[in-house]
Structure 1
Amino acid sequence: MASTARSTPRESFAIGNVRVRAGSAKEVELPITRLVTGGDVSLPVRVVHGREDGPTVWVNAAIHGDEVMGVEVIRQVMADLSPKTLRGTVVAVPVVNVLGFMTGDRYLPDRRDLNRSFPGSARGSLASRIAHLFMTEVVSKCDVGIDLHTAADRRTNLPQIRADLDDPRTRHLAEAFGAPLMLHARLRDGSLRQAARDAGASVLLYEAGEALRFEEEPIAVGVAGVRRVLAALDLIDPLPQDPPERPSPVESRSSGWVRARGTGILHMEVHLGETVAVGDRLGGLSDTFGRRVRLVHADRDGVVIGLTRAPLVNAGDALVHIATPVAPSPVE
């Protein structure tokens, strides 16, 4: 007689004071603090806990409160995930810096940078407490993380992945993401990426677009990239519309900003993704009557991956971010 025994169902996923059953999804509010007015502030989390075993991946955005692009990336990714077919678990945190997000501010009310406050402390500053909550309830339960960012105020970034490209697993996921460029980026003290790596997770940081903007291309690249990473980890099936001969990302291991050598009104002459060489003219500075006072030239060969959007600049201001591509290996 054939056995009628069923396989052991997958365990539920614990987060906060709730448990999410296998094959289901749930939204959870993790308490952060209470406002002076008496209202409660919570960290919004959505858990999609698949029926089948697999990796646990978190995706987060808005660690800086003015970086709204990643919120839309997460919305689109989560809309297509089903707990009935997912092989593993996805934990989505669309807004980490809730207080900054409500006011369109990069920082927290005490002007602390949340992305310099990890791993945090349960009894530290507000930033430290939020970081500790995120590490305890999200990062500690995940194998892989994708941290979504945009450029700082009055700057814009080419869609790019920043990661530890010397780690084989992280490199594989960076290549799978498929952004135009992947940059081997050093770890910053107090950053989520550093704290999560120390906790044993592989982390990709996606940079694209401008603060306080929804831009079609950075969002589309981000959505497709997150989906490709989930497919590379076998949480979902590969995307049928993904081109089989998709170009490999450009790899870079060094980058730097060309800075203004004088003060004036900037007229930019290059665009994101443009290839430049040492000495190429990137733009110029004029006085208020339109007289050209200084030219801006590239100080290295590479690809333009970041630009200032501020027309008024002072000496020393960062203007154009150039990444130097890694030379291809010689064919033997």
Structure 2
Amino acid sequence: MARESFAIGNVRVRAGAARDVELPITRLVTGGDVSLPVRVVHGREPGPVVWVSGAIHGDEVIGVEVIRELIATLKPKEFRGTLVAVPVVNVLGFMAGDRYLPDRRDLNRMFPGSPRGSLASRIAHLFMTEVVAKCEVGVDVHTAADKRANLPQVRGDLDDRRTRELAEAFGAPVMVHARVRDGSLRQAAVEVGAKVLLYEAGEALRFDDESIATGVAGIRRVLAFLDMIEPDPPNELPPSLESRSSGWVRARGTGILNLETRLGAFVETGERLGGLSDTFGKRVRLVRADRSGIVIGLTRAPIVNAGDALVHIAAVER
């Protein structure tokens, strides 16, 4: 018996096919319609239903390229289960190159949303009802905030056995045990029973090959772990380092920052990470590690004020 078609919006996607779907969001003041773009890959054989999403923050563009490259590798007739790919969730922010929506709301603090709330709340509700409600596993792709960079890493509830298995299958350099944030997609999805990974890598408004390649390969490993695709040829990846605590080293003064560390570096408590200078080049303060671990985030801003976050260090077992 042929597998049943997959319903989303007002369309149905037949088994063994891929289809692009537009889910209406709103109408612009100019009269143009804004829709949520979705690609559904509905395999010929049964299996899990998984979503991948990017650009919940409109300036976090790496997820768009990760998803584009991922779906280019999938063949619906050989696929088991269903993939719901949403490369751009915050469509209006993405078009403007802005993290937020036009009303300055953070979409990732508006879940699960409401059909009668603000624009952000309505988009969150649409995503929950048309995507998350149909899926059992999700991978949400993010980058660092503006003027920061992240080492490729996955975040999730590592105390949940299934989520931990998915994080280990992803194979990022670091997996971080992270609490959910109120109003986030991950919180809302977990509350309705989904298992969710956050993939964090790279910088806002920038593509970089390492972040993209790690994301594509990691999601493919998750799909293979779920038996939705055949595994890629094995490579000698080291196991992901596990972190259960992390924190930012913050500036103890104001100045021009010169960092002497890099993403992925292992540091020890008290180790020199860089320094702050005045505008004439006089060194006014050193920056030192306040804990041992691996550098998973950095600021890219050269001018810093007292209290600014400079280096994100995750404690790990080496």
**Superposed structure 1 runs of 4+ greater than 4 Å apart:** none
| Structure 1 residues 127-160: Cα deviation after superposition (integer angstroms, max 9, x where no partner) | 0000000000000000100000000000000000
SS in 1 for 2:76: coil
Of residues 43, 55, 68, the one that matches 1:62 is 55
Give the TM-score, by structure 1 length. 0.95
What is the match of residue 162 of structure 2? 169
Question: Which residues of 2 match residues 201-212 of structure 1 at below 5 A?
Answer: 201-212=194-205
Question: Quick one: percent identity of the two aligned structures?
Answer: 78
**How far apart in 1 are the matches of 2:274 and 2:104?**
34
Deviation at 1:223, TM superposition (A): 0.5
What is the match of residue 115 of structure 1? 108
What is the match of residue 9 of structure 1? 2
What is the match of residue 314 of structure 2? 323
**How far apart in 1 are the matches of 2:62 and 2:31?**
30
Deviation at 1:232, TM superposition (A): 0.3
Q: What is the root-mean-square deviation of aligned Cα atoms in Å?
A: 0.7
- State the aligned residue count: 318
**How far apart in 1 are the matches of 2:149 and 2:214?**
15
| Structure 1 residues 12-65: Cα deviation after superposition (integer angstroms, max 9, x where no partner) | 100000000111111000000000111000000000000100000000000000
Give the TM-score, by structure 2 length. 0.99
> Quick check: 1:251 aligned with 2:242?
yes
Deviation at 1:214, TM superposition (A): 0.7
In the alignment, is the contact (CA less than 8 A) between 1:153 and 1:211 conserved in 2? Answer: yes
What is the match of residue 330 of structure 1? none
**How far apart in 1 are the matches of 2:306 and 2:30?**
44
**How far apart in 2 are the matches of 1:222 and 1:28?**
24
> Quick check: 1:152 aligned with 2:148?
no
What is the match of residue 75 of structure 1? 68
Of residues 247, 252, 255, the one that matches 1:264 is 255
**How far apart in 2 are the matches of 1:109 and 1:313?**
28
Q: Which amino acid aligns with 1:117?
A: M
In the alignment, is the contact (CA less than 8 A) between 1:253 and 1:326 conserved in 2? Answer: no
What is the match of residue 221 of structure 2? 228
> Quick check: 1:85 aligned with 2:78?
yes
Deviation at 1:9, TM superposition (A): 1.4
Deviation at 1:175, TM superposition (A): 0.4
Deviation at 1:326, TM superposition (A): 3.7
